[in-house]
């Protein structure tokens, strides 16, 4: 299993450009999520999905869109990039959203995005 | 908003010593998890402790949970240079949005 994969690893955008960060998992996990990590801020949840066709907003959703057409893929779209979106983005997945069964989240390697 | 807050923010110890990190949280939880992040990498799950558990061990890791104080600690015994990383606690409140992460403790093991 490849686990959770993310592309690209690095990206530089100009203000106003749009792009899609790709995330895929091959573990048949129902739950997928996107976080951003900023220095001194920890990880903040952007959007999440509890299954194909279902998405919802997290703590910091503004400026981002997601879709979940398949179980495997969960792309994150930046509609009009702003310097405030400079961050490291992590995708994660787990079998279910709640940890009641003791199931951890699996993280991708991250995408480092710079918006100039 | 941040649920867990780790303390200290940074910790530097000598190889072979024990490292202790603490996490405090604000609301009730189903479980609490600890993750490690090596520089430039994604997070890796270390250990999970449920709200009805008080202590859990995994190899050189020992986690405690005190729900009355809303706090947890992670102890790494006999530290090694490879333990140098950031450590995050994450709480699961049972909602569909999953885990809420703290800001992390940056641990440096001096050889």
Judged by CB atoms closer than 8 Å, whether chains meet at B42 and A105 is answered as: no
CA B7, chain centre distance (Å): 10
Mutation for A interface: B48, B99, B103, most A CBs within 10 A: B99
pLDDT at B100 over 90: no
pLDDT at A101 over 60: no
Judged by CB atoms closer than 8 Å, whether chains meet at A107 and B42 is answered as: yes
Residue A54 is predicted with a pLDDT of: 92
Question: pLDDT-based confidence at B1, cuts 50/70/90?
Answer: very low
pLDDT (tens digit, 9 = 90+) per residue, B31-75? 899 999 999 899 999 999 999 999 999 999 999 999 999 999 999
Question: pLDDT-based confidence at B3, cuts 50/70/90?
Answer: low
pLDDT (tens digit, 9 = 90+) per residue, B6-17? 889 999 999 999
């Amino acid at each position: 299993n490849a686990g959770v994969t993310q592309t690209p690893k690095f990206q530089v955008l100009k203000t106003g450009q749009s792009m899609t960060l790709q995330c895929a998992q091959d573990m048949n996990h129902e739950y997928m999520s996107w976080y951003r990590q900023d220095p001194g801020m920890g990880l903040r949840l952007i959007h999440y999905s509890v299954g194909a066709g279902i998405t919802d907003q997290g703590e910091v959703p503004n400026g981002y869109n997601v879709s979940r057409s398949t179980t495997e893929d969960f792309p994150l779209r930046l509609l009009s990039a702003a310097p405030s979106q400079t961050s490291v983005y992590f995708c994660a997945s787990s079998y279910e959203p709640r940890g009641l069964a003791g199931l951890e989240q699996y993280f991708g390697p991250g995408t480092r995005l710079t918006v100039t | 908003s941040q649920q867990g807050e780790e303390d200290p923010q940074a910790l530097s110890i000598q190889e072979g010593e024990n490292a202790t990190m603490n996490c405090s949280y604000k609301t009730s939880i189903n479980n609490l998890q600890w993750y490690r992040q090596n520089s430039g990498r994604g997070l890796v799950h270390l250990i999970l402790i449920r709200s009805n558990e008080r202590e859990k061990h995994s190899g050189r890791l020992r986690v405690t949970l005190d729900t009355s104080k809303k706090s947890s600690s992670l102890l790494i015994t006999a530290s090694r240079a490879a333990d140098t990383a950031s450590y995050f606690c994450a709480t699961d409140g049972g909602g569909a949005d999953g885990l809420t992460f703290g800001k992390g403790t940056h641990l440096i093991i001096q050889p």
